[in-house]
Amino acid sequence: MSPLWKAVLCLTLFAAWRSQVEFRTMTSRRPRLDCAQRCPCSGQSYLHSSYSHAGTQARAPLLDEVLPGGHSVSVGAAIGGDEGGKASCLPLAREVGVRAAAGGGGNFIVSPLSIHAALALVAAGTRGETREELLGFLGSASLDELHGASSTDLAGRLNGLAQTSFACGVWVDRAQALEPEFMATAASRYAATAESVDFSSDPEQARRRVNGFVAGATDGRIRDVLPPGSVGSSTRVVLANALYFNGTWSQPFDQSATFTAPFHVPDGTIVRVPFMTTGRFPFEQHVAVYPGFRALKLPYKNDGDHAGRRAEAALYMLLLLPDGAALGLADLYDKAVATPGFIKSHTPGVQVPVGRFMVPKFKFTFEFEASSDMRRLGVTRAFEGGDFWGMVSGGDGLFIAGVYHKATIEVDELGTVAAAATAVAIQDSARAPRPPVDFVADRPFLFAIVEEKTSAVLFLGHVINPLAE
């Protein structure tokens, strides 16, 4: 073989060897597909849901959904990053909700996010053991951790979403001065405004100013978050926020298909109420069946639907419907509080064929004062003369005189309008084929309005009688 052909053969063998090395390097560096890319059932839900595939190992703990006829599907519950019930004020909501439902009581709604934001701002103005108790109640080990919580972050982002708005204010007596660090925290975390008022000589006028602020921020839905007598000449500071939500269903109900049917009230009576349905068969909904109850997810149209981009927050309503006498509303409240990530892990991740489908229209308002419930949950010093030096000069001898909350909701074929306000008065002491699943909410049920990424609960409540306002 001539020297020329030897050189050509050597170059050919070298090129082949180099190509093989480069190929192996490229394949070793190629990112492995995550489960959302591997699984055919992956969708837009932040909840990781998948069927169990042979040879595929789920990356999250498995939760079994039990379907009619003995069918089952394994659902991975991605609860990482989901705040516990304590961090979202769910224990307080549970206390009030169970009491409201006892003995076949009335309808109930509360905004855990609004209460969390109000008490987090109070905590920023306290020191010592007063702060420690409030931080424990809010599920945070430190003020920095509280400020970094997803609920705090979401409250700060609500004004950037088309469906929501959030307003926060601080009213301080003219004889007091807010501490600069507290003012900075209130402004940076909650875009709070501050106003000097005359609680000493005209507390009623100051009360009207706070209520006017809340009414304006909720489009008139919440008018008197501070009831008569809630502030007086000894009041020194009032902190209040207002949360407003106006969401349209991503799949609106068919208004022409709404019909009247019986709804079973716990005391044994039956009332006839308007039920919404889609009016189209067959169709699919986000429905899942769990032991003792079933769940329905109703997504709202989000910001990205019109802008052609991914929305900053996806919001949905979750309905939890007990199947019978074995599991009641109180049991569901207990599960939501005691089980970490319960809301997220019991939010249906995929749509399934639905048979009978009925959801009642409802509209009502609920209000309460939270001091006694907070005391039962471990907060005492703030109500008995705490350390509020971080909020105002001369913070000794101040105490929380009342934590007032009021919320309202209206659900119809097009969507949901809900509003809530919390005021804290501080005084001086001195897809695969699956069988159809029915969802007929003709008896009391829980509901929640949830932000999907963080699982922060904006509103939580139950319906005992859809006709009661």
Q: Which residues pair with 450 in a beta bridge?
A: 316, 457
**If you average pLDDT over residues 232-249, what whole number do you get?**
96
CB 351 within 8 A of CB 108: no
Token pair of 364 as six digits: 């009502």
Q: What is the pLDDT of residue 416?
A: 97
Going by C-alpha positions, the residue among 376, 295, 306, 301 that lies closest to residue 336 is 295
Summarised one tens digit per residue, pLDDT across range 95-110 is 999 999 886 679 999 9
Q: How far apart are CA 355 and CA 9, in angstroms?
A: 72
Q: What is the pLDDT of residue 2?
A: 54
Token pair of 407 as six digits: 């919320």
Q: What is the pLDDT of residue 163?
A: 92
Q: What is the pLDDT of residue 103?
A: 63
Which value, in Å, is the radius of gyration of the alpha carbons in the chain? Answer: 27
Q: How far is CA 392 from CA 181, 201, 330, 426, in A?
A: 10, 19, 40, 11
Q: How far apart are CA 380 and CA 373, in angstroms?
A: 11
Which has more pLDDT, 408 or 21? 408
CA neighbours closer than 13 Å in the CB half-sphere of residue 397: 8
Which residue, chain included where needed, has tokens 């008139």? Answer: 220
CB 409 within 8 A of CB 107: no
Q: Which segment of 81-90, 113-122, 313-322, 373-382 scores lowest on mean pLDDT?
A: 81-90
Question: How sure is the predictor about 151, in pLDDT bands with cuts at 50, 70 and 90?
Answer: confident
Residues 6+ apart with CB under 8 A from 329: 97, 98, 101, 322, 444, 445, 446, 462
**If you average pLDDT over residues 79-84, what whole number do you get?**
34
Q: What is the pLDDT of residue 281?
A: 58
Q: Is the pLDDT of residue 406 over 50?
A: yes
pTM above 0.75, yes or no: yes
Q: What is the pLDDT of residue 303?
A: 60
Return phi, psi of residue 175, to 5°.
Answer: -85, -5
Q: How far is CA 87 from CA 83, 109, 143, 243, 447, in A?
A: 6, 18, 13, 18, 19
Q: What is the pLDDT of residue 12?
A: 46
Summarised one tens digit per residue, pLDDT across range 218-231 is 999 999 999 999 99
Summarised one tens digit per residue, pLDDT across range 110-131 is 999 999 999 999 999 999 999 9
Mean per-residue pLDDT over the chain, rounded: 80
Percent of the chain with pLDDT over 90: 62
* Domain definitions of the chain by residue range: 83-469
Token pair of 151 as six digits: 């609920």
Q: Is the pLDDT of residue 21 over 90?
A: no
**If you average pLDDT over residues 238-266, what whole number do you get?**
95
Q: Which segment of 5-14, 307-316, 400-409 scores lowest on mean pLDDT?
A: 5-14
Residues 6+ apart with CB under 8 A from 412: 253, 276, 361
Question: How sure is the predictor about 194, in pLDDT bands with cuts at 50, 70 and 90?
Answer: very high
Question: How sure is the predictor about 280, in pLDDT bands with cuts at 50, 70 and 90?
Answer: low
**If you average pLDDT over residues 22-44, what whole number do you get?**
31
Token pair of 135 as six digits: 């931080």
**If you average pLDDT over residues 403-408, what whole number do you get?**
98
Q: Is the pLDDT of residue 462 over 50?
A: yes
Q: What is the pLDDT of residue 323?
A: 87
**If you average pLDDT over residues 174-189, what whole number do you get?**
94
Amino acid letter, residue 182: F
Summarised one tens digit per residue, pLDDT across range 47-58 is 222 222 233 222
Q: What is the pLDDT of residue 70?
A: 28
Summarised one tens digit per residue, pLDDT across range 295-354 is 999 999 976 544 443 445 789 999 999 987 668 899 999 998 888 889 999 999 999 999
Q: Is the pLDDT of residue 13 over 60?
A: no
The CATH code of domain 83-469 reads 3.30.497.10
* Chain centroid, CA 43 distance in Å: 21
Q: What is the pLDDT of residue 53?
A: 28
Q: What is the pLDDT of residue 88?
A: 73
